[in-house]
Every structure is written in C-alpha cells, then in structure tokens.
Structure 1
C-alpha cells in the first residue's frame, strides 16, 4: 500500500468519525497557494480545520510529531484563504485539530488484507495548535 493510499484511507476514517460526532464535512483536500487542508468540518457555529496523519511503525517520529511549525503555518494560511473565499464562516469559532493514526507495524506495499484489520492507535487532538492571526500575512 502506498503512502498516498494510506492517507486516503485515514482521511476516509476521519470523515466517518467527524460525521458520527455530528459534524458536516464542508471540504476535503482544500487547496490554496499556501498548501492543503485535509478536511474542513462544521458543527453548529464551530469550524474545524483538520490535518490527518497516518504513519506505519517507525523509529523516527509519531504522526503528531511529524507536523512541524512550518506545516502549522501553511495550514493556518490555507485556513485563512478558506475564510476569505467563504466569508459566511468568518464569524464562526474555528480551531485546528489533528487526527493521528499510528500503526503498530510497518504496512507492506502490496497489502494482502484489509487495512482496518491492522492494529493502530487513533488520537483526535482538538486544538492541536494555535496560530496568532497577526503573524499570518496572506
């Protein structure tokens, strides 16, 4: 299984969790010139910009640790682009969440079985990071 296929699977699972919690997914893979946001979801007057990370067993960093400060800034700038494009959401409370899928073992490229059969830890981190909006120059 390629890392792209693993990422799509993780985004699918994240979308299911969000919907089960009463969120409406407004956008998936929203692009701007600054980057991409995996999912944008809404519940009531709450807007959530979601980064999804999936990592197979590694000695380097967990999924959460792989989101650098420069990646956080790109996500924040892309979120501001979304708000500029859709100004009806500017009065919403917004936050940045991260869904981390850490698989317990390395996933072979030619996956012979269903990925959901592989053990993994899922962590949903609400308000995973904050950005001072004054520092974001679009």
Structure 2
C-alpha cells in the first residue's frame, strides 16, 4: 500500500472513532483478502473498506468496489468471525477524494453478505 492509501485509512479510522466506533483491527489479512478496518459500533462488528481517489481518471472511489472485491471482503470477514466467534456485523464503505472531513462519504450497510 502506498503512503497516501495508508493516510486515507488512518484518517477514516480517526473520523469513525470520532463518530463513536471503536477500532478492533486494521489491515486484517487472511488467505481470502484484506479488510482495511474492523471496528465495533455498539453491538455490531463493522467491516470497512476505505477508498481514496484523488481524481476520477480511472473511475471514482465507489466504482472501484467491484463484486469481486466485495466477495473477498465477505470471505475475509467470515474467516475473522470463525476465529473470533459469530456476531452481528455489517459492511461499510468510506469514500474520499481529499483527506478532510468535508470530503468523506461514509456508507453504512454498503453491501450484504
């Protein structure tokens, strides 16, 4: 991951913590893929994909979360839940084109398993 991608994930984690979520893990990897952030929102675990795009030359941030990417996240989340115990969860996406709160778009329940 490049420095800008890591900065975006760090910014998203801080933004979400300010909204009341608690960080559980970042850059969680399994043989299926990677989840940028795993956080707790009340009783729910939240698996979060962070997308940063400074320009739309290759499509916007939202378009980059393909069905294949969603599948990898879902499989990685299932692996995490097997290790940690099944619990209520959801899949969120954080999109941004600049590293400031005015340019962040948090989509709760962006997709389902």
Same fold (TM over 0.5): yes
Q: Who is 2:35 aligned against?
A: 37
In the aligned structure 2, how far is the partner of 1:46 from the partner of 1:102?
Answer: 27
Q: Taking structure 2 as the reference length, what is the TM-score of the superposition?
A: 0.91
Unmatched 5+ stretches in structure 1: 104-114, 132-138
Report which stretch shifted further, 70-79 or 51-60.
Answer: 51-60
Residues of 2 paired with 1:71 and 1:12: CA distance?
21
Any idea what the Cα deviations from partners look like across 1:99-128, whole Å, max 9, x if unmatched?
01124xxxxxxxxxxx66xxx721111111
Kindly report which structure 2 residues correspond to 1:15-26, keeping only aligned pairs within 5 A, or say none. Answer: 15-26=13-24
Unaligned runs of 5+ in 2: none
- Give the length in aligned residue pairs: 113
Q: Which residue of 2 aligns with 1:78?
A: 76
Q: Which residue of 2 aligns with 1:96?
A: 91
**CA distance in structure 1 between the partners assigned to 2:41 and 2:22 by the alignment:** 6
* Structure 2 counterpart SS, 1:60: coil
Match of 1:127 among 102, 109, 112: 109
Give the structure 2 partner of residue 61 of structure 1. Answer: 59
Specify the structure having the higher radius of gyration (Cα).
Answer: 1
TM-score normalised to the size of structure 1? Answer: 0.76
Secondary structure in 2 matching 1:99: strand
Task: Please name the residue that 1:106 is paired with.
Answer: none
